[in-house]
Amino acid sequence: MQPLDWTGSLAFLNPVTMAAALALLAALLVQTVLSALAPDTPATAPTRVVAETPRALALADLAVRLLFVTLVILVLVYPMVGALLPPEQGGIIGALTRRFLPVWIALGITFALSVRYKRRLGLYGKLFDSTIGMIGFGLVMFWVFTAIFSDLIITQDVLEQVSRMKNKAPGTALPDGSGWYLLGGDHLGRDVFSRMVAGSRIVILIAPFATIFAFMVGITLGLPAGYYGGRLDSILSFLANLILAFPVILLFYLLVTPEIVQTGMPQYLAVVLFLFPIIFLLTMVNSRFRVNPPRRNLLVAVIVVLGGYVYLSLISEPDSAIAILPSAVDAISMPGNILIVFVSVVFVNAPTVFRIVRGIVMDIKTRDYVAAAQTRGERPWYIMIWEILPNARGPLIVDFCLRIGYTTILLGTLGFFGLGLSPESPDWGSTINAGRKLMTIAQHPAIVPALALMSLVLGLNLLADGLREESLRD
């Protein structure tokens, strides 16, 4: 089998695409120069230049728009047409597009339904009125669907090593002729493309759920600290500042080193931290349905039974310091190394969330509607959860998206330093670290996961900007 190049039989479009890109850069440069000249007054610029600048600037704007649309169309031709051709003709770009077909279908359905019913979907629906928000949402959901359909997308086993494929370039054919390494091979002869796709599962599983747990801890402690103030606020704020005083990387390093792990400290932290979602849900239900005991008791029983089982299943690990549930009934199997990383992320992020929630509560508790609830005789936890917290959702949702991005970077940093996850893990940090050692020989094993990590974090930041923009309009 012949190796694949990037564009295959569509290579004849390469000069046209390059020419369009260069023309767009030139038009942007002209537009920038004319924009700088346009505000000049007749006293500082010749009258003829001032008179002709608006007309020239309008032509430059038109040229930029036309060239940009042309370039976008040309760029889209490669994956769209290449996906319809055989791999030998469609090239690497076409083959990659075909592998991600389940993701494109899921994205199309998601966007179609979201745009169709956006007026009924609250803040999420308003997100589709923001171009930045839509781009960020698309990038994030691309990786979410990639993680979901990863088993359908990958072309090789992520741990399979082919000695003749070590550091091979993208598009190299396998020795047995069964396919290609679309994005090349790494230093052990493993498929870079398949490891990148499989690595998205680790990020999508850990980052959002760890952030949710961190928010549960921060909200549960931040609400009473900001509402009551006084000694409770002082004690909780001191503890939060104590944790934040440590450098993040150093704190991570301390939590995931083998010596600390052997003491069982990460699991003991999990015992404490994983209780907070149950405490929050119980408090929320009790404050809302206190006047309706039958319904309250039923919901409390459901939370205690289901939440307690999930809690025990999460903290229980065979052959560890805490092994409560037998393996036969332990439905949630979280390997020890992932549990350590999960707990470390929650422990580091919770104090920051606490400070944000505390500050918001201290501001909102002075509002008239809070005073009205107090006048009605509502209890403090009802006011905190059902009056103050809903009105703080805008900043918290934005921070949630940003914090997932920070967590993604932290996971990559941990993997880069070889901490927490196993060395053979396909997580992006570990693959970047393994690939950067041979950058002079082959760049793709490090560049591919680095671009994946960058695109996900960029999408989360753009999504947060879109949500912030729309929440300010409410």
Q: List, for residues 414-431, the tens digit of each pLDDT value.
A: 777 766 567 678 888 888
Considering only 45-54, 109-118, 158-167, 413-422, which range has the smallest mean pLDDT?
Answer: 45-54
Residue 43 has pLDDT above 50, yes or no: no
How far is it, in rounded angstroms, from Cα 280 to Cα 217?
8
> Which stretches of 145-209 are assigned E, i.e. beta strand?
172-173, 180-181
Q: pLDDT > 90: what percent of the chain? A: 36
- Check whether residue 221 and residue 90 sit in a common domain: no
Nearest to 211 by CA among 422, 463, 408: 408
Task: Give the pLDDT score at 55.
Answer: 79
Buried b (16+ CB within 10 A) or exposed e, 16-25: ebeebeebbe
46 — pLDDT class (breaks 50, 70, 90):
low
209 and 75, same structural domain?
Answer: no
pLDDT score at 31: 86
Q: What is the pTM of this model?
A: 0.84
Domain termination site, one of 74, 99, 124: 99
Distance CA 380, CA 344 (A): 32
- Evaluated on CA atoms 45, 47, 49, 53, the torsion sign reads positive
The answer on 231 and 94 residing in a single domain is no
- Asked if residue 232 is part of any domain, the answer here is yes
In angstroms, the Cα distances linking 424 to 145, 241, 374, 415, 428 are 23, 36, 57, 10, 11
- The boundaries of the domain holding residue 462 are 193-471
Residues 193-244 have pLDDT tens digits of 999 999 898 888 888 888 999 999 999 999 999 999 889 999 999 999 988 8
Phi, psi of 173 (to 5 degrees): -80, 145
Say what the pLDDT of residue 319 is: 64
Of 99, 130, 149, the residue that ends a domain is: 99
Determine the Cα–Cα distance for residues 376 and 34; give it in Å rounded to an integer.
63
**CB 346: neighbour CB atoms within 10 A?**
26
Radius of gyration, alpha carbons of the chain: 27
Q: What share of the chain is helix, strand, coil (3-state, %, to 5)?
A: 75, 0, 25
94 and 203, same structural domain?
no
Counted residue by residue, the chain has a size of 474
Structure tokens at 174: 């396998």
**111 — phi, psi (to 5°)?**
-70, -40
Q: Is residue 61 included in any domain, yes or no?
A: yes
Q: Among residues 315, 199, 308, 204, which one has the least CA distance to residue 267?
A: 315
Cα 58 from Cα 60, distance rounded (Å): 5
Distance between CA atoms of 199 and 415, rounded to whole angstroms? 11
User: Is 119 inside a domain boundary?
Assistant: no
Q: How many domains does the chain have?
A: 2
Rama region for 320: left / alpha / beta (φ>0; ψ in -120 to 50; rest)? beta
Residue 424 domain-assigned (yes or no): yes
Q: In whole angstroms, what is the distance from residue 310 CA to residue 305 CA?
A: 9
Higher local confidence (pLDDT), 147 or 342? 147
Within-domain flag for 156: no
Of 49, 79, 99, the last residue of a domain is 99
Report residue 75 as tokens.
């760029």
DSSP SS3 for 159: coil
The C-alpha atoms of residue 415 and residue 431 are separated, in whole angstroms, by: 8
- The answer to whether residue 126 is domain-embedded is no
Q: Does the pLDDT of residue 49 top 50, yes or no?
A: no
Indicate whether 83 belongs to any domain: yes
pLDDT of residue 320: 63
Residues 255 and 393 in one domain: yes
Query: Across the chain, what does the average pLDDT equal?
Result: 85
| Residue type, position 287, single letter | S
State how far the Cα of 193 lies from the Cα of 448, in Å rounded to an integer: 8
Single-letter residue type at 78: Y
Task: Identify whether residues 342 and 451 lie together within a single domain.
Answer: yes
Q: What is the DSSP string of 106-131?
A: HHHHHHHHHHHTGGGSHHHHHGGG-H
Q: Which residues of 237-250 are buried (b: 16+ CB within 10 A; e: fewer)?
A: beebeeeeeeeeee
pLDDT at 41: 47
Which residue type occupies 337? N
Average pLDDT on 327-333 reads 69
The verdict on 231 and 86 lying in the same domain is: no
> Residue 393: how many CB atoms within 10 A of its CB?
14
Q: Is residue 151 part of a domain?
A: no
Question: With left for phi above 0 and alpha for psi between -120 and 50, is residue 167 left, alpha or beta?
Answer: left
